[in-house]
């Protein structure tokens, strides 16, 4: 594989499964040294496996435990990467959660939980990583948003609000750090086959229902998101900042699209 990220150091949050794991492995395969974050003992195995997968073939990676929504953890995780690999050039804010809640049944706790991981987590991790990046001349931040930064999502108001928030965080930081050598972008995945969608993927009818919403006619794979993140992380994207790259088989172009329709 092309070594576009040779010499770079990255930190990927939520790297123990799904999209985050694919991103972490891809960045490593392209030459980056990568801190692969996992939340707790429960998801430690996934991150450790990913680390083994890349180190066995000569890559450099380390598993980093921590909760992105906790200020002390966020700071420590960034500094663990700096201690291990000397710097940090790429931060991927991927950790995210969702839970279905009709709005009138949404407890404050539900709302705060989703906001704390998806949005506050990105704030805390970015602030610490940007302190390091600006100290050594620049870097890049990539936020994993969602088509739901654009498409409203009934019963997931908290989730959609965080992804809309991530869009403005991305654009605002892109402006605020443009003169300090930091590019800030986002990828917005559509329906990707990962554990977050287990219930739909396991049910053929629900699986097909989602496919009808995607002009390209199928679910996406985590590797397809990872490929876009690798591009944004590389110097090939040297003039790209403040952008959101939709990785969604066209889903956000035409919300509610029925495959085969007019």
Binding site for ligand NAD (CB under 6 A): 13-14, 16-20, 37, 39, 43, 67-69, 94-97, 117, 121, 144, 146, 189, 191-192, 194-197
**From the CB of 137, what's the least distance to ligand NAD, in Å?**
28
- Closer residue to ligand NAD (CB): 18 or 35: 18
Q: How far apart are alpha carbons 33 and 10 in whole angstroms?
A: 6
CA atoms 74, 137, 141, 46: torsion sign: negative
**From the CB of 261, what's the least distance to ligand NAD, in Å?**
22
**From the CB of 19, what's the least distance to ligand NAD, in Å?**
4
Structure-token match 């180190």, residue found: 55
- Closer residue to ligand NAD (CB): 180 or 206: 206
Is residue 159 flagged as an active site residue? Answer: yes
Cα dist. 228→93, 182, 219, 242, 244 in Å? 14, 18, 16, 15, 11
Q: Which one from 85, 123, 156, 159 is the annotated catalytic residue?
A: 159
- Closer residue to ligand NAD (CB): 2 or 223: 223
State the number of CA atoms in the 13 A half-sphere of 70 facing the CB: 9
- Closer residue to ligand NAD (CB): 237 or 252: 252
**From the CB of 177, what's the least distance to ligand NAD, in Å?**
22
- Residues annotated as catalytic are 159
């Amino acid at each position: 594989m092309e070594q576009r990220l040779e010499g770079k150091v990255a930190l990927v949050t939520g790297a123990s499964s799904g999209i985050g794991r694919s991103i972490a492995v891809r960045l490593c395969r392209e030459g980056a040294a990568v801190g692969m974050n996992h939340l707790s003992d429960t998801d430690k195995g996934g991150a450790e496996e990913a680390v083994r997968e890349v180190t066995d073939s000569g890559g450099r990676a380390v598993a980093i435990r921590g909760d992105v929504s906790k200020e002390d953890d966020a700071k420590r995780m960034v500094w663990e990467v700096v201690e291990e690999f000397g710097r940090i050039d790429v931060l991927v804010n991927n950790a995210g959660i969702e839970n279905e809640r009709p709005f009138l049944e949404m407890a404050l706790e539900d709302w705060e939980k989703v906001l704390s991981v998806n949005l506050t987590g990105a704030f805390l991790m970015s602030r610490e990583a940007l302190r390091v990046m600006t100290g050594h001349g620049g870097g890049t931040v990539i936020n994993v948003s969602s088509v739901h930064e654009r498409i409203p999502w009934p019963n997931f108001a908290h989730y959609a609000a965080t992804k809309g928030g991530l869009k403005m965080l991305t654009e605002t930081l892109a402006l605020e750090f443009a003169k300090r050598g930091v590019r800030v972008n986002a990828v917005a995945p559509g329906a990707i086959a990962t554990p977050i969608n287990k219930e739909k993927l396991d049910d053929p009818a629900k699986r097909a229902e989602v496919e009808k919403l995607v002009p390209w006619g199928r679910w996406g794979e985590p590797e397809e998101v990872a490929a876009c993140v690798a591009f944004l992380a590389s110097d090939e994207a040297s003039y790209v900042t403040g952008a959101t790259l939709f990785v969604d088989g066209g889903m956000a172009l035409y919300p509610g699209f029925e495959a085969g329709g007019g």
